Amino acid sequence: MPKTRLFSYIKHSLTLIGFSLLCNQVGAQSISPAQRQEFTDAKTEVNNVLKGPYQKYASSELRQAQTSLQNAEGANDPTKYAQNTRLARAQAQHAQAVTELGIETDRLADTTQALAKARDDIAQLSKSK
């Protein structure tokens, strides 16, 4: 009688262990809705950079972001999926910052050039008097 009990106890324990392992496995291998949302946000961020003049200023940064997005899309492991998603988003934000820096650098160059021209014009006017 105790032998049967012990046998039943082992059987139930094994079933529970097996079930918990299965749950763990399923949980570990599925990408959560929150992670998918994060991926969508990263994609939006990359698309926002694509709308601007990134080609002139941050093409390599944006390429890195696109590669990370592709890596995330191809990842089955949720950890890799999340890591590549975050990398893509950070790289897109970097590309955006580099683009804005490039635009402002060009603006400074244009303004400096206009200032030099105005100085020349004034000097010429003074001479012609």
Q: Which residues bind other proteins (CB under 8 A)?
A: 79, 83, 86-87, 90-91, 93-94, 97-98, 100-101, 104-105, 107-108, 111-112, 114-115, 118-119, 121-122, 125-126, 128-129
By the 10 Å C-beta count (0-12 exposed, 13-18 middle, 19+ buried), 42 is classed as buried
Between 1 and 93, name the residue whose CB sits nearer to other proteins: 93
Between 23 and 114, name the residue whose CB sits nearer to other proteins: 114
Between 5 and 129, name the residue whose CB sits nearer to other proteins: 129
Tell me the C-alpha to C-alpha distance, in Å, between residue 59 and each of 50, 55, 70, 86, 105.
Answer: 9, 5, 16, 19, 17
